[in-house]
Structure 1
Amino acid sequence: MVVSELKHKERSRTLKHCVSAAFESNADHSKKLWVSLSKQLNAFYLFTRPHTILGTIVGITSISLLPLESVSDLSLTFIIGLIKALVPALLMNIYVVGLNQIFDVEIDKDIPDVDGDRDFGIQSFSVRLGQERVFWLCIKLLMTAYMAAMFVGVSSSNIYQKFITVIGHGILAYVLWFNACSLDLKKKTAITSFYMFIWKERSVS
């Protein structure tokens, strides 16, 4: 009788151990899958360049709002139409930035990593023309775009559009020039911060 009870207890312990091991194995497997999935999603998130997506969303949404005359125009039909415009635009945005990262290495304005490009034989604009020269070329191009927008604003017959366009782009141009003049091109962190600032300005404009 005692031997039988001992065998029963031993079988119970063995069964519990097997069940516990199975649960731990499943939990460990699930954890590994989750970690792997998280890494892949994070890699995809970084690959999409989220700051460019923000600009696309703001741009399309603001343009879509222009024809509206009152709050009552914000109907379900409008929202569905906006989503139909946003989805393909965002997919195209991801495609373009992905294509750029893979194939357009030689022509990118890679100002912070001139040394790395030079060491690996990548003839980017910064390597061929010089870091500072490329930087100011980009700034002048952006300033030209702002000046063009201000000119369009001046030629507008609507006084409110004229005021907002001219003053708004004038402020953006001033802020851009001020930040560009105070930027230290020798600091990679400063260049990265300025790069993100430009994208924020782009979203606003």
Structure 2
Amino acid sequence: MIQSLSSSCFSSTVHLQPERGALTSLRRMKRNRIILNGDKKNIIFTGFSDHKILDPNKSFGNSCDKRIAHRIGATSDGEFVLQPKDDIKKMLTAIYNFSRPYTFIGIIIAISSVSLLPFTSLRDLSPALFVGFFQSLIPFLFLKIYVAGINQVFDVEVDKINKPYLPLVSGELSMGQGKAIVWASGFMCLAVAVMFKSPPLFFGNLTPFLLGTAYSADLPYLRWKTKPTLAALSIAALYGLSVNLGVFCHMQKYVLGRPLVLTKSLGFTVTFFTLFSVVIALSKDIPDVRGDLAFGNPTFSVKYGRKKVFSVCLAILLTAYGSGIVIGASSSFLICKLVSVIGHSTLASVLLLRANSLDLDDDEATQSFYMFIWKLFYVEYALIHFIR
């Protein structure tokens, strides 16, 4: 066990109580040296007359007793390393950032919403609903970590220009740690989907697993992110088809035990989010033009310019919202008609206002707009329940 010790503690005498067996007192210290660890100091003591483990439960001097944190341990060179006690916190934060958590919000909202689409009355509510929801959620969360992670593993050099804050680029995670997270998440995604014995869930995860690999992996015939059309189709299949169809069919057949029936709300959901996913695929590259140019990634934004791609994205989104207004207005339920028409009209208006104020030459502004699109994406999952 390595034990963290604040540097101020070293003004006090260090004592070790005798212990029977493996633990023994520290007899002699020849030298120490200080190395930097970010903005912290690691103090390394070397040259012990015997290389036995210190007992972290023993006294370390009056002023230090209370401040000994979590780690003291010996290296292979007989060095005792005292590290900052927030190292674990930094590691967890790095893993959190590596998983791109904003996409977690989307998948949780999507699964929560689509899980309710097959339900026709309050009598359908039962504990099976919650079981089915978590069966859908768990493998898709692992899938999201895998897809986000494999993209970062193969994009380290590009991200040094486009996204220098990502953990692999900044050094918060090593490449080995990143790869371990990616492959563990991919394995868990497929293993959990198989364990639940639901073909819709399995294929709903397998398809984006394969597409995510093809999108990012720098292997022959793959690396589809450098092929704009295949990249757009991959993302559309992930967000438009796999999640929505997989979760809906799982809930309808394997939770409710009903024959598979494609409803009006499901048809709208798949169509709307497929269009929306195409916009996500196109707009995500708008802030990254400089890096993509430097590394020869021929995205649509590189080939045709930011302005044209942005105009196409805006047109697709307005078309999707227009379809929501038209289909919502055709509903036979007044509340559904009102919510659908007013809701989609409001979102379209907010989109236009934000788009008109956007500076396409500002990478930070275009990245902010991309995140705004995700927020619109989330809101739509509330409106789909009024398409009846």
TM-score by length of structure 2 reads 0.43
Distance 1:73 1:33, change over 3 A: farther
Match of 2:354 among 163, 169, 179: 179
- Matched residue SS, 1:184: coil
Shift of 1:45: 2.8
2:73 is matched with: 26
State the partner residue of 2:305.
Answer: 130
The number of equivalent residue pairs is 192
Aligned residue among 26, 41, 45 for 1:17: 26
Decide which of 214, 225, 229 is 1:105's aligned counterpart.
225
- One-letter identity of the residue aligned with 1:161: C
Alignment of 1:49 with 2:83, yes or no, is no
Shift of 1:96: 4.0
- Residue 203 of structure 1 deviates from its aligned partner by 0.4
Relative CO higher for 1 or 2, CA cutoff 8 Å, sep ≥ 6? Answer: 1
Superposed counterparts of 1:61-76, under 5 Å: 61-66=112-117, 67=119, 69-70=121-122, 75-76=126-127
Distance 1:51 1:188 in 2: 19
5+ residue gaps, structure 1, are 1-11
Mapped to 2, the partners of 1:159 and 1:73 lie a distance apart of 23
SS at match of 1:105: helix
Task: Quote how far apart the aligned CAs of 1:48 are.
Answer: 2.9
**Cα shift at 1:74:** 5.1
SS at match of 2:308: helix
More strand by share: 2
Question: Hey, what does 2:175 align to over in structure 1?
Answer: none
SS of 1:113's partner is helix
Offset at 1:100?
Answer: 5.5
- Residue 73 of structure 1: how far off its partner (Å): 6.1
Structure-2 residue corresponding to 1:9: none
| Secondary structure in 2 matching 1:26 | strand
Task: State yes or no: 1:91 paired with 2:138.
Answer: no
CA drift of 1:57 comes to 1.0
Following superposition, the deviation at residue 32 of structure 1 comes to: 7.8
Match of 2:289 in 1: 114
Once the 2 structures are TM-superposed, how far is the Cα of residue 118 of structure 1 from its aligned partner?
A: 1.3
For residues 122 and 63 of structure 1, do their structure 2 counterparts lie closer, same or farther at Cα, with a shift above 3 Å needed? closer
CA–CA distance in structure 1, aligned partners of residues 114 and 312 of structure 2: 29
Q: Which protein has the larger Cα radius of gyration, Structure 1 or Structure 2? A: 1
Secondary structure (helix, strand or coil) at the match of 2:296 reads coil
Q: Give the percent of matched residue pairs that are identical in Structure 1 and Structure 2.
A: 41
Aligned to 2:103, the other structure's residue is in SS state helix
> Please, which runs of 5 or more residues in structure 2 have no aligned partner?
1-15, 19-23, 28-44, 46-53, 57-70, 75-79, 155-215, 217-223, 229-280, 381-388
Q: Which moved more, 1:102-111 or 1:50-59?
A: 102-111
Q: Deviations over 1:154-205 (max 9, x none)?
A: 2222221111111111111111111011111122221121111111110011
Tell me how far apart the structure 2 counterparts of residues 93 and 13 of structure 1 sit (CA, whole Å): 50
Q: Distance in 2 between matches of 1:163 and 1:30?
A: 64
1:80 aligns with 2:131: yes
The residue type equivalent to 1:46 in the other structure is N
1:58 has 2:109 as partner: yes
